[in-house]
Amino acid sequence: MLIDSTLREGAQMFGVYFSDAQRRDILSGLIQAGIDEVEIGWVGQDGLEDLLRHGRKEYPSERTRLTVWSPLRLLDLDRMNAMGVRRIQFGVPVSDAHIEHRLGTDRAGLLLRLQNILRRAAELEMAFVGVGLEDVSRANRDFALQVVRVVEECGGRRVRLSDTVGLLTPLETAELTRWFTDRTELAIGFHGHDDFGMATANAITALASGAESVDVSVLGIGERAGIAALEEVAGHLNLRRGAGYDLKQCARLARMVAEAAQVPLARNKALVGEDLFACETGLHLQGLSKDQSLFEPYAPEKIGASRKLGLGDKIGKSAVRHAAHQQGIAVPSHGIENLTRRVRLLSQALARPLFNEEFRALAMTADSAASSSESCYAP
């Protein structure tokens, strides 16, 4: 399942400040997209209580669960209880460097603190408690497993493996995930950062290796390089594994968040870029004219996209002939080579593919001399 953290991890991205209205719109979009769980923020975050109230009021019967992140502090647990929070995700550093320098304690002190807080959560009858093993990719495995045992003994429900600085490769993610799933009955989640561009691949690998859930955010926004991208992981799960997320809604969210966070949306961005199904290469155009699946992994309609085919400098004679036929223009066989050359010349001069009317103008005079075409159509 997918746990979206746009409103927690994403909101921590440098320079990102979502307004209350934007946060409500993002939450609504995530729920409408069918995302399984939303980490709606962190304890102490301004507006968190209002957002939680909004989600419960507007979508009381939806399957999307709302979770709040918290550091490992009793005071914060009591604050969340007072707010009516019933699902909590604690962040628990497990590498020695984080334990010593962030928390100012040692392994034994961390285990005792965790035990006390989880017992207090049980007393408060929290509906769900998860524990994120922060920096687990650099932690001592045996100690991390001790933390898992405390979570088991104190009624926790999920352990999240956090590759906090994005060091893991997919093979390492698979090994780490299996190591923990083989040693606990707790649900295993994965939270991977994108410092080396592997977050989406690691998230998908974690799911394939036994993880029950992975963390994502819209466009992958978050600290530093961010985390796995919601639209990419959801797209893979839908199109390769038959999941039921609303990819059109994910694309709408991507555009919304790109604007709100002032993150440029690349035209070739996986799953949501406007030019994903744009093509002007002769070989590919010829293949698409025969069987669209030859050069497309899925039909554009599945993500609410459409094809954009262009004729330009990369065109070949077969594609030119097909384009002329599609527009109902009869070009004699001896004129195809000349027309192809003229298309290339004009495209080079304009530094872009030709519009239909431009191609049509050239095709209608396909038997003209090459010199005439250059003088008439070159800018």
The whole-number pLDDT of residue 116 equals 97
Q: Which two tokens stand for residue 83?
A: 């707010």
The mean per-residue pLDDT over the stretch 169-189 comes to: 98
Cα 293 to Cα 260: distance, rounded to the nearest angstrom = 35
Give the distance from CA 230 to its chain's centroid. Answer: 3
| pTM of the full structure | 0.86
Give the mean pLDDT of 225-234: 98
- Side-chain-side CA neighbours of 178 within 13 Å: the count stands at 9
**Rounded CA separation 361/130 (Å):** 65
Percent of the chain with pLDDT over 90: 69
Domains and CATH numbers, the chain: 2-261 (3.20.20.70), 278-377 (no CATH)
Q: Residue 223, CB half-sphere, CA atoms under 13 Å: how many?
A: 9
The whole-chain average pLDDT of the chain stands at: 89
Structure tokens at 51: 């957002």
Quick: pLDDT tens for 24-75: 999 999 999 999 999 999 999 999 999 999 998 888 777 899 999 999 999 9
Residue range 232-259: average pLDDT?
96
Residue 37's pLDDT is what?
Answer: 97
Query: Cα–Cα distance between 236 and 348 in angstroms, integer?
Result: 37
pLDDT at 336: 82
Helix/strand/coil for 129: strand
d(CA 65, CA 42): 15
pLDDT score recorded for residue 198: 98
- Name the pLDDT band for 354 (thresholds 50, 70, 90): confident
Nearest to 223 by CA among 20, 4, 70, 11: 11
Which residues face 308 on adjacent strands?
278
pLDDT-derived band at 372 (thresholds 50, 70, 90) equals: very low
What would you report as the CA-atom Rg of the chain, rounded to the nearest whole angstrom?
27
Residue type, 295: F
Structure tokens given for 294: 């030859």
Rounded CA separation 251/87 (Å): 28
The arithmetic mean of pLDDT across residues 137-154, rounded, is: 98
